[in-house]
């Protein structure tokens, strides 16, 4: 369970969006949190891979491996 406090402007925006979409405020908040977590996790993976780059393949090697 999670409870959050929103400033009046954000709460108002969320209420308007909920009315327009027919979805609950909770539904929108849940989706926003999930999207944000996905983005943060993707960024961590990308930064880790940039810190330890793997082998770089030439276009010719890729074409050969894919038999193109």
Average pLDDT, the chain: 96
Each residue's pLDDT tens digit, 2-49: 999 999 999 999 999 999 999 999 999 999 999 999 999 999 999 999
**Boundaries of every domain in the chain:** 9-65
Q: What one-character-per-residue DSSP string does 17-66 give? A: HHHHHT--HHHHHHHHHHHHHHHHHHHHHHHHHHHS--PPPPHHHHHHHT
pTM of this prediction?
A: 0.71
């Amino acid at each position: 369970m999670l409870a959050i406090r929103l400033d009046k402007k954000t709460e108002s925006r969320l209420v308007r969006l909920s009315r327009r979409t027919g979805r609950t405020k909770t539904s929108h908040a849940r989706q926003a949190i999930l999207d944000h977590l996905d983005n943060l996790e993707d960024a961590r993976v990308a930064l880790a891979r940039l810190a330890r780059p793997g082998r770089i393949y030439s276009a010719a090697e890729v074409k050969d491996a894919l038999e193109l």
